[in-house]
Structure 1
């Protein structure tokens, strides 16, 4: 499971974010004391950090810089400050993304999910992608939903991973075939359809949701 840590001094926002991400299968930790927050975050070893800028004791810029010196965890700045200089400074200090308040929670979820798909913790790529009520385990090539699981072929796994990375967006058939071609798993158009249908059937068998939607003439979307 992807571990998320929230550093936010507004208790209401912090609790809302924690409950929201827990519903989507994330393991969530929250910092509540801010005088030693850098040590607390490094000790917790989250995959992704949601970090406010305006905090007691130390601001988010200092925390971001300090953590980036010691860890490759994903860092998303979530703040009410929306000046271009704040965003530029955040990126220069090592943040991976910048989201302004008030934010759409589904968009924030998509940003976190996208970062989770590529983030490296201590140099090791995160092996599990989470979405909805299921997970995709890269090491075992398993689709997992609760106590149910099913094995995926290489092609099915690559298609699932591509759709998960772009969750909520339409992925064209051309994008899927390009992704598979780049990974030395060439599919023609008919074979892609067969593999998508097999993946959809396996997801249905273990009750994984959301399901794969077909956008006729365009592609697919989770």
Structure 2
């Protein structure tokens, strides 16, 4: 799973971007200690950085310059500053891309995905996720274990994908429903129960028992 660092002083926007990224299969690093961003980059080693220019204490250009003194991590400037000079400065100082606010979410995700593919060409795509011998292919909606394979419905595949990208963590029912349908307020809780039962049964059909564990009152974990 790619790890993306968000450097943004607007907490609401930072959280919105983080939620979008998590729901699309990325893990997230957030930090509001802007003078310490280069140190955090060294400690956390993110795969990509979303960097605002207008920050308190220090601007994004200075942060980018310092990061470039020790790292080639991909950096996308995401900023409300949209002049040609700002874009030129971003590229000159080592930025890899430049997106102005407000931005289209799908365009942001496409830019991130494109840059990650260029920066890490040998890393397995998020279209195929593996864990403990099970392989989920989102392009075919099939799971495979050893020589056995079975097809999932769209929702079943999305449920398993969300559990896999959060492997080792307990995922609540509400989180899964929000991931599937954007808002749990519009979902019948029984629908999730039915889909989860089907996913578990299909895992057992290909020879994997207790792959998805239920944590009573908390959620699920793989």
> Fold-level match, TM-score > 0.5?
yes
**What residue in structure 1 maps to residue 39 of structure 2?**
39
Q: Is the 8 A contact 1:54 1:60 kept in 2?
A: yes
Structure 1 residue 34 displacement after superposition: 1.5
Query: 1:149 pairs with 135, 141, 146, which one?
Result: 135
**What residue in structure 2 maps to residue 17 of structure 1?**
17
Could you say if the C-alpha distance between residues 208 and 85 of structure 1 is closer, same or farther in structure 2, counting changes exceeding 3 Å?
Answer: farther
Residue aligned with 1:109, SS: helix
Structure 1 residue 208 displacement after superposition: 8.7
Once residues 43 and 126 of structure 1 are traced to their aligned partners in structure 2, the CA distance between those partners, rounded to angstroms, is 23
Q: Deviations over 1:13-46 (max 9, x none)?
A: 0000001100011011111222212211222110
**What residue in structure 2 maps to residue 168 of structure 1?**
none
**What residue in structure 1 maps to residue 119 of structure 2?**
119
Structure 2's unaligned 5+ residue stretches are 144-151, 158-222
**What residue in structure 2 maps to residue 205 of structure 1?**
142
Q: Deviations over 1:135-188 (max 9, x none)?
A: 3xxxxxxx327774169xxxxxxxxxxxxxxxxxxxxxxxxxxxxxxxxxxxxx
Once residues 29 and 118 of structure 2 are traced to their aligned partners in structure 1, the CA distance between those partners, rounded to angstroms, is 20
Once residues 153 and 57 of structure 2 are traced to their aligned partners in structure 1, the CA distance between those partners, rounded to angstroms, is 44
Q: Is the 8 A contact 2:65 2:94 kept in 1?
A: yes
Could you say if the C-alpha distance between residues 103 and 66 of structure 1 is closer, same or farther in structure 2, counting changes exceeding 3 Å?
Answer: same
TM-score, L = length of structure 1? 0.60
TM-score, L = length of structure 2? 0.60
Could you say if the C-alpha distance between residues 84 and 145 of structure 1 is closer, same or farther in structure 2, counting changes exceeding 3 Å?
Answer: same
Calculate the aligned-residue CA RMSD, in Å: 2.5
Q: Is the 8 A contact 1:2 1:129 kept in 2?
A: no
Residue aligned with 1:32, SS: coil
Following superposition of structure 1 onto structure 2, how do residues 1-222 of structure 1 map, counting pairs within 5 Å? 1-120=1-120, 127-130=123-126, 135=127, 143-144=128-129, 148-149=134-135, 203-206=140-143, 207=152
Greater relative contact order: 1 or 2 (C-alpha under 8 angstroms, separation 6 or more)? 1
Once residues 16 and 136 of structure 2 are traced to their aligned partners in structure 1, the CA distance between those partners, rounded to angstroms, is 33
Once residues 61 and 46 of structure 1 are traced to their aligned partners in structure 2, the CA distance between those partners, rounded to angstroms, is 18
Once residues 122 and 46 of structure 2 are traced to their aligned partners in structure 1, the CA distance between those partners, rounded to angstroms, is 11
Q: Is the 8 A contact 2:9 2:55 kept in 1?
A: yes
Find the structure with the greater CA-based Rg. 2
Residue aligned with 2:56, SS: coil
Structure 1's unaligned 5+ residue stretches are 136-142, 152-198, 212-222
Q: Is the 8 A contact 2:130 2:136 kept in 1?
A: no
Once residues 26 and 17 of structure 2 are traced to their aligned partners in structure 1, the CA distance between those partners, rounded to angstroms, is 11
